[in-house]
Structure 1
Amino acid sequence: MGDLRSLPVPDGLEGERADAALSRLFGLSRGRAAEVIAAGDMLLDGREAAKSDRLHAGAWLEVTLPPPPAAPAPVPEAVPGMGILYEDDDIVVVDKPIGVAAHPTTGWTGPTILGGLLGAGHTIATSGAAERQGIVHRLDANTTGAMVVAKSEIAYSRLKRAFKERRIDKRYQALVQGHPDPFRGTVDAPIDRHPAGDGRFAVVAGGKPSVTHYDTAEAFRAASLLDIDLETGRTHQIRVHMSAIRHPIVGDLAYGADPTLAARLGMTHQWLHAARLGFEHPTRGEWVQFESPYPDDLARALEIVSDES
């Protein structure tokens, strides 16, 4: 059964197309929003809406949202290149390779960290949804680096709370095009789904508050290596914010990177690495910190851009 939502159209959606507004309001893809409207499940002041209808602020909106598609259960599997930085009875800190998702999702058919851990015989906490058991934070499939997974139930609950309360030290490194000005700064800009409804995210008025701090570690002729500290953890946050200040991450073609530079450096994905992860151990209480070395492709690209400078 669908989930019925009733509310007045917000002022910020005045004049928006019905499908775009539905996408923004409820985080649906543009295609999914169009399906809801085509099924007659979006009413404006009591009448069925068409996807091209323009909304008026204050009109009464009734939407029956479809239940989210069930994600597949994790399947134990071998994940080549997945390393273990640390493990005890409560946590396992993974060195995540390229092309691996954190957990199964609808539409993802590639390997997952969860499947890799189960396939290697690791015990994982069973808290949370079945397809996300033990997962307390995520990295994009094409982002590498340090990621912690909970093994015990108490570790799961305490780490989830620590991430929610921003008591985690997450440090990334990104190779971005050009030279940010100033060399050290903060990007404070709200993020939500891209209006195109194509899976990307964007800086959007009324989006979720998002804050990224960056500092230039090294400047090259064509690019800069940045140290990045996240205050918030939105999907694609670093990629969106770097693109928004016109210094997209090298190799991140989805967010405006130069394909010629990416090809010259041998990058087929964004040059973004979760280099350091620190937090209070969930049962021992002491501060623990883990570092992930660059994978070969990132190290090679960094060497090339450095030699060209």
Structure 2
Amino acid sequence: MNTSSEPGLGRPDPGLSAIMSERRQLIGVAYRLLGSLADAEDVVQETYARWYAMSRQEQEAVNHPGAWLTKVASRICLDLLRSARARRERYVGEWIPEPLPGRPEWIDVRPGDTTADPADRVTLDESVHMAFLVVLDSMTPAERVAFILHDVFRYSFAEVAEIVGRTPAACRQLASSARRRLHTSQTPAAPAAQRAALVRHFKRAWEAKDIDALVGLLASDATAVGDGGGLVSAAPRPVEGDEHIARYLVDLAGKVPDLTIQERTVNAQPGLIAQQAEVTVAVFAFDVDGARITRIWAVRNPEKLRPWTARTA
């Protein structure tokens, strides 16, 4: 957006660059709250629409525009989360958060380098990991908003309370409940180099259609979940067990001879994409516990792959 005038007035808007500079922050908050990049972009668009629906005097009365924008965006997200259950009931098959594109290739990580895995607090990267988002999706809307705004973006509970419509003490309890859910469900984090090596070995074994090698990389109780959204084919239910997953993937590769597998950063972690005719048709995210892959999320719903097709076509 290059204009330097407020829509409809023609007067210089000295605060425009500052307002628009908040867009990345708003997208980050909304994506973590909703698990959908498309929905997050819609929320930010609506947030800016509400800002520019105000008069210049009303805008100038806002002491901290960035905080105002975040509050409005978070409230819109909260409303969407409250209606999400009904929308999920109509969703065909398994629902997986929309995968977030990262760098075209993985960053090389030296063996033993654990700087990408700090344990002292939730980092922005960790808060977009697929396993993290899947657990967030099991929370109540209020828990999710309280936790993300406080633990990830460091808003005070007093500020969170204004958004959620509860007392600061209640918001503290919501965030605490959310933390317990995460700690109960999350596996110990593997070092970044180990995650990358496992996914790379997985890719090579899959390309070689080596069932035994795939089984050796998967935990015995591993689970693979596919999301086609009813628009393309996907496993209707989670595939469970190392051998079942390995055979399913090898069978899939045999049915699609022109399928190519490439390494990509998916939700800030090493992942894979599958392409046909240079168009991304699936994105794979992984969860790793020790020396084995425990979870695979395969997103095939083309509506969730639009950013990937645009980046890799």
Give TM class, smaller chain: under 0.3
TM-score if structure 2 supplies the norm length?
Answer: 0.28
Instruction: Give the number of the structure whose residues are more often helix, by fraction.
Output: 2
Instruction: Give the number of the structure whose residues are more often strand, by fraction.
Output: 1
